[in-house]
Structures are given as C-alpha cells and as structure tokens.
Amino acid sequence: MNDCDLFSLRKSCLKMKSCTEFILILLGLFIKASSAENSTQVYYIEVHIEAGAYKNFTDFIDNLILDVNSSATVQNFSITTECNSLITGNVNCSCNSGYSWSEEVCQNFSQCCNQNECMFNDPNPRAMCLSNNKVLVNGSFTLADVPYTSSLAESGSQDYNAFVEKYTGKLQQVYSTLGWFDSLKITRLRQGSIIADFVMTVTAPFTSAELENTTKQLQKNNNASFNLIVTVSLENGQTAYQAFEGIFCDEKLEGHDVSCQFQNRLNQTKLFSLYVPIINDDSTICKSELDWPDAKANFNATKLCNPTAVGLQMRYCMANGTWGDLISFCVNQAISKLLNVAMNLQRGLGIVEKQANGIFVRLKLSTDDKSFETFANVNASVGVLESMRDASNIQNSKWNDTAFPDILKSLSNLLNGSLNDSWRPVGNEGNYTLALKYLRAVDGIINQTKFATATNQFQQENVQVKIYNKSDPSTQKTFSSEFGVSVSITETVSNVSVQTAFKNLGSKLPNTLDGKETVPSEIILLVKADKKTKISAEYNQQRLPNHEMYCVYLNEDNSTWSEGGCKWGGVSKPKLCTCDHLSAFTILMAKHPIELKYMEELTYTGLGFSIVSLTLCLVIEFLVWNAVVKTNIAHFRHTVLVNITVCLLIAHCSFLAAPVPSASPPYWCLPLTVMKHFCFLAAFFWMLCLSLGLLHQVIFVFVHLRKKVYLGLCLFLGYICPLVIVIVTFITYDNGRPGSYYSGETCWLIYEAALKGSIHAFLFPVFIIVFVNMFTMVVVISRILKPNLSEGSSHDEKEVARSIVKTIVLLTPTLGITWILGLFVLMLDLTTTPYAQIVNYAFTFFNSFQGFFILLTGCFGEKKVRDALQKRFGRQQSMNYKSESSSRITSATKTK
C-alpha cells in the first residue's frame, strides 16, 4: 500500500504519503449488536492490523463488521468503551479496565472525568475512552544555519508565527508516522542560532527505534540537531523495573548495595543505587501487618499505592520493632490526570482559553471528593493552579469570569478545616512551602481572569472576592468581609482593584517575623490593582494585653513576612493596618508579651532587701517595745506595724519559695498561691487599720479610741476579711483548679481580661484600700496646711512644706500608697512607650523594696524608736566602758 488514510475522529484527517506497516486506530468505529427491544449495545474498539492485508479500508471494515475474529491479519483487538442506548434517546457509556475518558470528552463533558460511567445526549463517536498508557516527548531542535532575530523572541509576532507554522508542519509530517500520533506544538524559541522547544504527545507506546529513525530523518532534511526526553505515562503513573541478584547466605550481611545502570541507544547512561537491608535470624523486625511485609528495624518499607491512586506510600520500622505512622505520597487518579493535563497545557499542548473552563470544573469536582484529605492531593491540586497560571502567562491568554465560580469553589475547598493537617508533609510541621505556592498561584489566577464590569463580588465558604471598578458607581471602595476584615481604598489612581479575603490560611503560612515567634491571624488579604493604591484594613483579630501587633505583607523575594510600607494603628486602634503598596497582607500578634529588661533582677533584689529589712524591723520592735509603747496610740500604731511586717514577710518568702514554678514540685504551687493571696490581702487590711486609726485621730481629736474596740476591729479586718475573700475566691474558681484559680506557670492568680480572672479578687480589695489610705493622707496634709490658733500669723510656710513632705515620705510605705501605680500598670499597655515602661519600673521598684522603706520610715523614722535604740545600745556601751575601766583599776592595784 503506497498511499493510505488514517481515520481519526479526534482529529479531522491525517494524510500519510507512504507506510509499509502501521497501526490503525479506529476511534470512531463501533459494532452494534441487538441486546434488547429498545436498547442497542455499542462497542468502541481499538484495532491493530498489518498494512497491505486489504486492498482498501472499505474492504477491511466490511470484513471486520461481518466477523472480527475471522481476520488473521488483525494483530490486536480490544474494546475500549461500552455504551447502551436507552429508551430516552440518551447513551450511557463506561470505560473498560485500562482506559479512561479522552481529553476531548473531559473538555466537553467535564462531569464524566471523575467517574467511570457517563450519560450522553446522543451516540457521539468521540465519547470514548483511550488507553491510560501515554508517551510524552519533550524536545528541542537547533538550526545552525538559520540566523536568530529579535522578533522571534516576541510570542505572537509575524516572524514568530511564520517560523512556528513552518516547522510545526515539518515535524508533524514526519512524526505523524508514529502509531497513534496525537499532537505536536512548538512552545518557545531561543537564541543559539535558533533553538526551538516543542512538546509531542503519542497516545500509545512506540519503539525507540521508530522515534530514532524519524528523528534522524528530520535532522537530515533540516540540517538540525535534536535533543529529546521521553516520558511514559502508565496506568498507575509509574514505570517499574524488576531485577534479580543472588547473595551468598553463608556471609552474614546486614545489607547489600545494588546498582542499576540505564543506557539508551545514544550510549547515554544513568546510574541508580539501592541499599537492600537483609533480615537475619537475630534481626529486629516489624512483623507483617495488613499488606505490609516484614521490615527490618531502622528502615523504611515502601510500596505502590492502591489501584485508585498514583504514587508511593511509606512506613518506618522503628528500632524497637514497631511500625511508625503511614506516610503517603498517593495522589487520586483524577487529580493526577488533571495535573498532567494542566502541565501539558503549560507545555503548549492545547489552548488555555478553550480548555480552562473544563479543567477548573474537574478541579472543583476533585476537591469535593471525600478521599481528597492528604498532603499529596492538596499538593497536586495546587500544582494544577500553578500550571494553569503559567500556561495562561505563556500563551498571554486569559479566561472569562464564567470559570471563576468553579475556581473559587476549588480554592475554598482546599482551605476547609478538615484539610488543616494536609498542608504539610508528615513530620515536617514547619514547612510552609505549599501555602506560599497556593497564595502565589491564586495571585496569578486572579490576574489572568477577565472580570465583567457587572460582576463585583464572588463568595465561597473560605474565600471571598470583591472587585472595585472606579467607572462603575455601584461598586464601593470599602470591602467588608464576613471573615472579619474590612478594606478601604484610601488613596488610589487605579481603575480596577480585586480584593480577596482568605479564611483558614494564616496558620498555614510562616508564623515568624524577623526571627520572632508570632500568632498569625487566620485571615489573609490579597489586594491587586492595575495601578498604585494605598489601603487600610481592619482585622477582627483579638489582641492580648502587652502583646505587640505587626501589620505585614508577603515579601516575594524571600518568602517571609515584612513590615515595610505597613503601619499598625497602635493601642488606640489595635485592629487597623495601613499600607502604601499592594501584596498579600495580614496582621500578626507577638506570641509572648513584651518583656522589660532586668525586671526579674530588680524584683528579686528588692524582695531580698525587703525580707532582711522586715526581719530587722521585727527585731527592733521586740527590743524597743517596752520603751516606746506607753500610750494607747503608740500601742495601736506598733501593733499594726508588727502585723503588716509579719504578713509582708511571709508573702515575700512565699514568692521566693518558687522563683521558677516549672522547676518546683507541682504540689507547692497551690498552697503558695493561697498563702500569697491571703498574706498580701492581710497586709493591706492592716494598712487600712492604720489608716482608719490615723483618720480618727485627726478628725476626732478629743475622742479617744478604746483599746479593745480598736484591736478587735483590727483583728477582724486584718485576718477575717482576707480569709473570707480567699475562701470565696477558691470555691468560685473550681475549688482552686489550675488554670482557673491560679496559673501553674507563675504560681499566682490569673488575669484573663478586664474584670475577668481570679486576680480581681486581689485587685479590687487592694485598690479600695489604697484609695481610702490616699484619702487619709489628704486629710492629714490638709490638717497640716490649716494653722492652729496658737500659731496665728507665725505659720511658717517652709515648715509646713517640710511637714507635708515628711508626712508623705513616712506614710506612703506603711499605707501602701505606691500600689496605686499598679492601677496604671493595668491601664497602660506596654506597647505605649515610654510611659508604660516608666510606670512598670517604678511600680516594681517601690513595691519590691517596700519592706526596706517600712524599716526606714516605720522604725528609724520615729524619734522614740531611735531614742530607745540609742539609749539601749548607748547604756550597754556605757556599761561595757565602766566594766572595762574597773578591770583596768583592779589590774593596776594588783600590780602595785
């Protein structure tokens, strides 16, 4: 046969000038057999015949229809598709084993791609299945004698199109002699004389000799050199080789190295090595489990995925002979096929504008599948998005927004909460690569979508898109998302901007900023515009007290968050971010609160001084008690002072008993918390007793307090009231449960938020007492300012000023006035610099050194105490002096 026509209903017609032997694929040929009164069985078949056996194709077809099995020259016969004609006029078709729907079917009937059976409106001969075994040839050819011009670099230029059309025809004319040739497309021209890259697809395997002969013919005819890479796509997506090697069993080996060298017809070689562990009698192994065989300890067992998926799965056999977790790289076949289609489109096989809708419909259906929840499937789906983005850029072609609902549904499906654990490889929780690829792919997808003016908003469960068009009065500058972010375009010269909000994406992206750990917002905002735009965004992100917030964008250069060009609204507007450029944005919160330097050192130093001072204060009171306590007023004052000192001393010692709560015995924390809670409260209530006594003395000058009444009141206020508060608080907060009543990290009460947390059972009484004590101090100062009748006009202002200062200095420590700074500590956030830092350091200094100040003002500040100490130690010194003098006189007498 000199001339022959190859019929293919997937392509119009393919002419071949000569062929000595060929494989004829009759894609449109079908056999009808009556199976029911109102039903017709249709078989789409694939036939391999020997050329020259028939005078013409009509003769062959007639013989084949009469009796397929009667022809001895039919080398291979297989049914690819079975269809049933229904009474409704529709046709129900299904693919046989080893076959799947053709790409043309997937494009025109997207609902078919993810299922084996499909319903068609009429018996369409193109509604058929093709072999899952495909051959992809990536190649390039170099024309040494053809000069390269700059116009060839511009895709779509007249010279570029002319070159592509000319050499595509030349290559197709020769390569189409390969059996079941499908397509060939030149994808790029490069300089080097001229280097042209191309992609060819053949939908059935062929021999390397055929490819070599056709390529040699092209090299000779065009004075060109070719470079080809052949990839075989099998039904399960992999090419497997099997080899056997003998090992001497008398040598007890732990393993054996095996090497395989692959060599092609051009004598090019590739070496692969494999270490095979050997299981000996005394080897530790993981016993076979389900379909996993025995495996040696400290090695991975690997096997192919099940028939419905493509890839490998792995389990590690641990040292103790137990199986580790399953690590799967299995991709659903539907996703795998779709990824191959998208990658082929990226290589130039097909037109983006025509195929995009079908691909995005298939992606939506695939991501809806319940068996989708694996890292491999998510990774492959993001790969589809990347390939579509790149293919669109290469072809400089966009798709209409009619495809965007399917795109958005796929993007939203990928962010479903059920997939949270599928965004990172098993055992690599710090890997954020896939999420970054997803965000970049979405960025490109949005850029390549032609949005209609009438459409201004799309929304799915996890993704929301708003289009702002300056020329359309119906669109607003402000974009309020249900996800908890609102965007305002504050300054713009853009005509169109696209604002996209993502939910459940923040935790999948990097959570550090300049090496600092942060708590990411789950909301990511992506803003694209045709010109420069300044935006402000308000996030519904809860901020913890004293935690810094960072308004950041995704830096494409190093794939990290950066603050450049973005500004946080501060404490007054903690949810606001403003940026003067476009990108992907979010707001981050520091993982830990702001830490002030040397605060711990200052605290422990002050407490150390206070403990020593309070102990010394008790010793002094013991020594001078009889000398200074001679009136009721003095008795009241020193009784209160001793109780304040004792309570503070126990509270400070309890604080230092667990400097590092995590390193202390766990049963210590609760009693220490209760002790500190009670003792600090008791100290303040005794300060209140001192304040009330002083207030009574100033206001009711001629009314004296009765000793029993006052001391009874002091005992009630000083110990009964704190005890009641502690007991009620303990019961209220789950009977002292950790995390409710106290924190195991600090061994102290818990502050959750304003008016929330057990710490308020301490703060409220303390601040009430402090305000009462401040009132007492004001009354005392006003009394000093008011002159006595005896003083008359001789009232010395300097003396008054000195008295006021002295009163403030002496009363502030013992009345706990410095604790008023604690109110400002709660009110001022540490992000409010420098005021918050000043107040915090002042509060820590004055209150950690409170015991030391009480020693100075409460003991040494009272003249009677100083006189008593001087008299006591002076008399002792005088007695020692007299004793020493008597000894000297006696000694002198004896000497004489």
Which pLDDT tens digit goes with each residue over 285-294?
999 988 888 9
- pTM score, two decimals? 0.65
Q: Tokens at residue 358, please?
A: 């079908």
Which pLDDT tens digit goes with each residue over 122-145?
655 555 777 766 777 888 999 988
Question: Are the CB atoms for 539 and 522 separated by under 8 Å?
Answer: no
Evaluate if residue 642 carries a pLDDT over 50: yes
- Burial profile 297-319: b = 16 or more Cβ within 10 angstroms, e = fewer: bebebeeebeeebbbebebbbee
Closest by CA position to 630, among listed 618, 641, 638? 638
Helix spans in 495-567 (H): none
User: Residue 698 half-sphere exposure, CB side, CA atoms within 13 Å?
Assistant: 18
The Cα-based distances of 325 to 293, 317, 470, 508, 850 in angstroms read 15, 9, 54, 22, 58
Evaluate if residue 890 carries a pLDDT over 70: no
Question: Are the CB atoms for 813 and 683 separated by under 8 Å?
Answer: no
Which pLDDT tens digit goes with each residue over 82-127?
888 777 778 888 888 777 777 667 767 767 766 778 887 765 555 5
CA distance 240 to 358: 32
Q: Tokens at residue 619, please?
A: 């010793």
CA distance 153 to 573: 52
Question: Are the CB atoms for 473 and 454 separated by under 8 Å?
Answer: no
Closest by CA position to 811, among listed 651, 640, 649? 640
Q: Tokens at residue 766, please?
A: 């303390």
895 against 764, higher pLDDT: 764
Report pLDDT for 784.
80
Query: Helix, strand or coil for residue 110?
Result: helix
208 against 107, higher pLDDT: 208
Report pLDDT for 697.
83
Question: Are the CB atoms for 457 and 501 separated by under 8 Å?
Answer: no
Evaluate if residue 682 carries a pLDDT over 90: yes
Question: Are the CB atoms for 46 and 80 separated by under 8 Å?
Answer: yes
Identify whether 765 is preceded by a cis peptide bond (ω within 30 of 0): no
Longest dimension (CA), the chain: 163
| Banded model confidence at residue 36, pLDDT cuts 50, 70, 90 | very low
Lowest mean pLDDT among 331-345, 684-698, 780-794: 780-794
Report pLDDT for 35.
38
Q: Tokens at residue 108, please?
A: 């025109």
- The DSSP output letter for 663 is G
Report pLDDT for 107.
67
Q: Tokens at residue 546, please?
A: 């004293």
Residues of the chain with pLDDT > 70, as a percent, come to 81
Evaluate if residue 48 carries a pLDDT over 60: no
Other C-beta atoms closer than 10 Å to the C-beta of 826 total 14
Other C-beta atoms closer than 10 Å to the C-beta of 286 total 22
| 228 Rama class: left (phi>0) / alpha (psi -120 to 50) / beta | beta
Which pLDDT tens digit goes with each residue over 565-604?
899 988 888 888 998 888 888 899 988 888 888 998 999 9
CA distance 625 to 637: 11
Evaluate if residue 685 carries a pLDDT over 90: yes
